[in-house]
A and B are shown apart, each in its own frame.
Chain A
Amino acid sequence: MENKTNCVEVVRKQKQAGKWVLISFVLLWFFVLIIFPLIGIVRETFKNAISVITSSLSSTASTHAFWLTILITFVAVVINTIFGTIMAIVFAKQNFKGKLFLESLIDLPFAVSPIVAGFMFVILFGPGGWIGSWFYSMNIKIIYALPGMIIATLFVTLPFVAKEIIPVLREFGIEQDEAALILGASQWQIFWKVTLPSIRWGLAYGVTLTIARSIGEFGAVLVVSGSIINKTQTATLRIHDQFTDLNYAGAFSAALILALISFIILNLIQYAQKRKKRI
């Protein structure tokens, strides 16, 4: 009898030990990969005088870079939300030839390296490019200009909204649409009153991912923008630029701000995800 309880006790202790090994492993991993670099950024930033930070942040090049990032992010979010939603509805509810093939293409931006994507756009939209030459003849610059940067950002963020909504819509089915139809609702009313409210948290999640990615995008935008100071330099490109110029104070202060934004977005993502699961 006593033996038995001892056995149970031993097993319990072993389980406890196993649990703590796992937890400390996760903690260690987090520290090495996330917490230490974060602390590093903060430390490096504040090691220099506050004045250096503020001056480097308030320089026209930096403010321009941040505004450019915000502008590109805003345009990318608006376009992706509208087209992503339309795409999701088409893929989830309509049937047509070639649908499977097209749907598999949504994942392409995940598979292609952003730098490769950037080169693709340079080849296509550059002055000598297939489409670009026409635009140049119309005196519209795409590469090394804002339109190209927006196109590149749209490309890398294309999957987020659609990919989040498609499964929600599939699970949702068409019965509620039909119920609304029978109750007299038009397709437009069905979209606003039935479809949109049921995908809203999936949509919110997709939008937040799009924002995060747009702000953080580096490779594709670097290639198509040429990173021209005060013209086509986004926040991430600015950080990279300052870093290579050995202006660590400037680089770290800008990096800190991006890290903060990411942190806020991360929390929004988690909130949206929780709500999505609940609905």
Chain B
Amino acid sequence: MSGIMVKNITKKFGDFIAVNNVSFDVKEGELAALLGPSGSGKSTLLRIIAGLENPDMGQIFLTGKDVTPLRTQKRNVGFVFQHYALFKHMTVEKNIAFGLEIQKKDKKEIKQKVEELIDLVKLNGYNKHYPSQLSGGQRQRVALARALATEPKVLLLDEPFGSLDAKVRKNLAQWIRDLHNRVNVTSVFVTHDQNEAIEISDKIIVINRGKVEQIGNATDVYEHPKSKFVASFVGNVNVINANIKKNHIVITGTKEKIQFKEKTEINFQNIVLLIRPEDIIVKDNSTEDTVPCIINGIYYRGSFYEVDLKVGTNNVKSLVPKEDFFKFEWRKGTKVYIRFRKFKIFEASEGHKKVHEMLKQLGYIE
């Protein structure tokens, strides 16, 4: 059963289309990430699910029920705001109890539930503290406890780690993943950080300019990006200008040819190859399918080396194991050869037209 279903949602602010016909669904118990750059409409979408904004078109289903006509108060969703939005004049326990007090629950019951939640978010001893006396991470946890107090079936988190420093962020992200597994809830969190999305979510919905670019798990989105945008937004990627001539690829500024698996008779001008740095293999000697290039810069990165290379007129980055470095004594200016483990082909001007898909269907590439 689907926990959250978003169906053809469109939202305009004046002439600006913030969300453009977006549909996706999140299965019950899943933790999904809405990933996109700022201004992509992901926060608006989250607010529409919560009922804080009304969509111009489309429907929202929560646990199978159409909640589009329901007001925010009636949707029973948990929401964690980017800046927590804790009630400043209330103590930690009052903040957590707020939703239960609105529901006019029994005093004893509220007290017990608050204790349970304080235990869950590990804030024991902070019951009587005010938000201003807490650190960012602690506030975040109070916000979470408050959102979970009414036992919502759906939990929405807006940039939950956005305003925390790197170390706290990492711990909290993992902790939220664990918490999600323990509490019976379907969650969606908004983020602009691909690493967060990849690390903790079951499903990633990549959004750009109000449209869904791709939906899939972390591996899908990283390994098989469906558009130039997804490839470059999720993870690092090299963009190499090239042309397709008959049955091979020629990188702009080089003469070397990369053969297709099968023979083709098609020509494409101005395409781009998208290649992850770890998919560029640097070699000492030329073999089949290698392209010569010059080392432009070498950066020590601890467990590996990052190398800048000049291929024709293109600058690319590659990640190289340390052993290779010690073996071949590469320096800046050394001529080396690179081979592409795998790559995607898109039209240079329009990332959405999937040249790659076409070539793949024709069986020219894998």
CB-based contact A183/B52 at 8 Å: no
CB-based contact B99/A197 at 8 Å: no
Residues in chain B near residue A273, CB distance under 8 A? none
CB-based contact A178/B52 at 8 Å: yes
CB-based contact A186/B73 at 8 Å: yes
- In this complex, the member of A175, A180, A182 whose beta carbon has the largest number of chain B beta carbons within 10 angstroms is A182
The size bracket of the interface on B is 20 to 34
CA distance A198 to B147 in the complex (A): 21
CB-based contact B85/A176 at 8 Å: yes
CB-based contact A182/B52 at 8 Å: yes
Whole-angstrom distance between the Cβ of B57 and the nearest chain A Cβ: 23
Q: Is B198 in contact with chain A by the CB < 8 A criterion?
A: no
CB-based contact B85/A175 at 8 Å: yes
CB-based contact A181/B72 at 8 Å: yes
Q: Is A184 in contact with chain B by the CB < 8 A criterion?
A: yes
For window 78-93 of chain B, which residues contact chain A by CB distance below 8 Å? 78-79, 81, 83, 85-90
For window 137-193 of chain A, which residues contact chain B by CB distance below 8 Å? 175-176, 178-186, 189, 193
CA distance A175 to B131 in the complex (A): 15
Tell me which of A185, A193, A194, A197 contacts B73 (CB under 8 A).
A185
CB-based contact B146/A183 at 8 Å: yes
Whole-angstrom distance between the Cβ of A171 and the nearest chain B Cβ: 11
CB-based contact B150/A178 at 8 Å: no
Nearest A-chain residue to B83, judged by Cβ: A175
CA distance A181 to B87 in the complex (A): 12
Residues in chain A near residue B126, CB distance under 8 A? none
CB-based contact B102/A185 at 8 Å: yes
CB-based contact A183/B102 at 8 Å: yes
Q: Is the interface of A mostly helix, strand, loop or mixed?
A: helix
Whole-angstrom distance between the Cβ of A252 and the nearest chain B Cβ: 45
Residues in chain A near residue B52, CB distance under 8 A? 178, 181-182
Residues in chain A near residue B78, CB distance under 8 A? 182
CB-based contact B50/A182 at 8 Å: yes
Q: Is B77 in contact with chain A by the CB < 8 A criterion?
A: yes
Residues in chain B near residue A181, CB distance under 8 A? 52, 72-73
Q: Is B364 in contact with chain A by the CB < 8 A criterion?
A: no
Q: Is B361 in contact with chain A by the CB < 8 A criterion?
A: no
Whole-angstrom distance between the Cβ of B88 and the nearest chain A Cβ: 6
Residues in chain B near residue A189, CB distance under 8 A? 102
For window 23-58 of chain B, which residues contact chain A by CB distance below 8 Å? 50-52
CA distance A96 to B183 in the complex (A): 43
Q: Is B103 in contact with chain A by the CB < 8 A criterion?
A: yes
**Contact A178 to B81, CB < 8 A, known contacts A183-B146, A184-B150, A198-B89:** yes
- In this complex, the member of A183, A184, A279 whose beta carbon has the largest number of chain B beta carbons within 10 angstroms is A183
CB-based contact B85/A183 at 8 Å: no
Q: Is B229 in contact with chain A by the CB < 8 A criterion?
A: no
CA distance A197 to B79 in the complex (A): 22
Tell me which of A176, A184, A186 contacts B87 (CB under 8 A).
A176
Q: Is B98 in contact with chain A by the CB < 8 A criterion?
A: yes
Nearest B-chain residue to A196, judged by Cβ: B89
Residues on B facing A (Cβ under 8 Å): 50-52, 72-73, 75-79, 81, 83, 85-90, 98-99, 102-103, 146-147, 149-150
Contacts A/B (CB < 8 Å), 5 sampled: A179-B86, A182-B52, A182-B78, A183-B102, A186-B73
Residues on A facing B (Cβ under 8 Å): 175-176, 178-186, 189, 193-194, 197-198, 279
The 3 A-B pairs of least Cβ separation, nearest first, read A183-B99, A175-B85, A179-B85
Q: 7 additional contacts, CB 8 Å, given A175-B81, A183-B146?
A: A176-B88, A178-B81, A179-B86, A181-B52, A182-B50, A182-B51, A185-B73
